[in-house]
Amino acid sequence: MSSEPVSLPQALASFADLWSPRIVTAVNDYDVRIAKVEGEHVWHVHDHTDEFFLVLDGELHIALRETDGERTVVLPKDSVFTVPRGTEHKPYAPRPTAILVLEPTGTLTVGDRHDDVPDHVDVTTGHALT
């Protein structure tokens, strides 16, 4: 991890992979990850942690399966949302979108339980930013 400031636009320009987050820094036991996303992710659940999303550019939709049924939240640029632990969810971006995610170090992008993972989704705990 660098002891220098990280430019998020420069960090995002350093890779092209979709649904493949890069770790830009850490805060205590949490990774701060950025990712480029477009299209569908996968239905998944994080049993032991919330998942924080910040939309840096574009628009992110997050489908949620809750006790009262299914709903979708729409996050335009500069919006934040936290998916509570144990909530099944599926992110989707209708166009190229950049996000920042805050999760405990080692958290898998597809959660603890998930649907089949399509080829375009990287099952990872985050890649080092190079």
Mean confidence (pLDDT) of the chain? 94
Closest to 21 measured CA to CA, from 11, 36, 10 = 36
| Residue 128, in any domain of the structure | no
CATH number at 48 reads: 2.60.120.10
Band of the pLDDT at 2, cuts 50, 70, 90?
low
* 23-34: average pLDDT: 97
Choice between 57 and 125, residue whose per-residue pLDDT is larger: 57
Structural domain tally of the chain?
A: 1
Structural domain range at position 41: 8-109
- Please give the pLDDT value at position 18: 96
Question: How does pLDDT run across 54-84, given as a tens digit for each residue?
Answer: 999 999 999 999 999 999 999 999 999 999 9
Phi, psi of 70 (to 5 degrees): -100, 140
Given a cut of 90, whether residue 130 has pLDDT beyond it is no
For the segment 17-41, the average pLDDT, to the nearest whole number, is: 97
